[in-house]
Chains A and B, each alone.
Chain A
Amino acid sequence: EPEVTQTPSHQVTQMGQEVILRCVPISNHLYFYWYRQILGQKVEFLVSFYNNEISEKSEIFDDQFSVERPDGSNFTLKIRSTKLEDSAMYFCASSVLTVADTQYFGPGTRLTVL
């Protein structure tokens, strides 16, 4: 069964450093998403992406964040200058369509900012 994959599973970085989290969405899906989950809290939407453009973003997704689809399979989330409060699980998701279509989530990357 096709699934969303993410690398690395755990990333440790120093505050102020740049990190890139990588995702490979399900191959026939057209919409891609990033969510985050701070430990013990609910999953929060960050950004959605379609046709090489950001479709929607939350207030969390500020200028420190960016997304990219560098090739036909990868979807990345970059945090330019990490802060302590960026420590969280970051989940990538994808869906065939959008607006009331099932989003399938990857296993997540645990980001720890020291």
Chain B
Amino acid sequence: GESVGLHLPTLSVQEGDNSIINCAYSNSASDYFIWYKQESGKGPQFIIDIRSNMDKRQGQRVTVLLNKTVKHLSLQIAATQPGDSAVYFCAENMGAQKLVFGQGTRLTINP
């Protein structure tokens, strides 16, 4: 079925530390995955994406890892900053013209 979920609803890390946000998906046919950041009162902001023919992709301070064997996706944020505090959603595209979002993880950066 259509199910994209997250392992932890909240995550707190110290400023400067690295954070890892996890996501499980259920549809093995999904071929495109995206991480979005949502700050309070704003729309989802694209962070990074990865296609199913890859297992790792790096951006600026962010890395996405895809493990198709266990249907697991993660977002790593290096050297977290106060501006990283937000809710992070994973989303998957199953070849249709829509994204299926997970529930979201609230990341809090402690000073």
Whether B89 and A56, one on each chain, are in contact in the complex, defined by CB atoms closer than 8 angstroms, is no
Indicate if B97 sits at the interface (CB-CB under 8 A): yes
Stretch at the interface among B13-21, B39-47, B67-75: B39-47
Whether B45 and A56, one on each chain, are in contact in the complex, defined by CB atoms closer than 8 angstroms, is no
Whether A42 and B103, one on each chain, are in contact in the complex, defined by CB atoms closer than 8 angstroms, is yes
Select which of B42, B95, B97, B104 is within 8 A of A107 by beta carbon.
B42
Name the distance in Å between A60's Cβ and chain B's nearest Cβ. Answer: 11
Name the distance in Å between A79's Cβ and chain B's nearest Cβ. Answer: 19
Whether A108 and B101, one on each chain, are in contact in the complex, defined by CB atoms closer than 8 angstroms, is no
Whether A55 and B97, one on each chain, are in contact in the complex, defined by CB atoms closer than 8 angstroms, is yes
Task: Scan residues 35-70 of chain B and give those whose CB is less than 8 A from a CB of chain A.
Answer: 36, 42-46, 49, 51
Query: Which of B89, B97, B101 neighbours the largest number of chain A CB atoms within 10 Å of its CB?
Result: B97
Indicate if A65 sits at the interface (CB-CB under 8 A): no
| CB-defined contacts of A103 to chain B, threshold 8 Å | 34, 46, 99
Whether A43 and B44, one on each chain, are in contact in the complex, defined by CB atoms closer than 8 angstroms, is yes
Select which of A50, A58, A108 is within 8 A of B43 by beta carbon.
A108
* Interface magnitude class on chain A: 20 to 34
A107 vs B95: C-alpha distance when bound (angstroms):
25
A105 vs B99: C-alpha distance when bound (angstroms):
12
The verdict on A43 contacting B101 (CB below 8 Å), with A100-B32, A100-B93, A100-B95 known, is yes
Which B residues are within 8 Å of any A CB, using their own CB? 31-32, 34, 36, 42-46, 49, 51, 89, 91, 93, 95-104
Which A residues are within 8 Å of any B CB, using their own CB? 4, 31, 33, 35, 41-45, 48, 50, 55-56, 58, 91, 98-100, 102-108
Can you identify 23 A-B contacts, CB atoms within 8 angstroms? A31-B97, A33-B97, A42-B89, A42-B104, A43-B89, A43-B101, A44-B101, A45-B100, A48-B97, A50-B97, A55-B97, A91-B43, A91-B44, A98-B97, A99-B96, A100-B31, A100-B32, A100-B93, A102-B34, A102-B49, A103-B99, A104-B46, A108-B42
Nearest first, the 3 A-B pairs at minimum CB distance are A100-B32, A48-B97, A105-B43
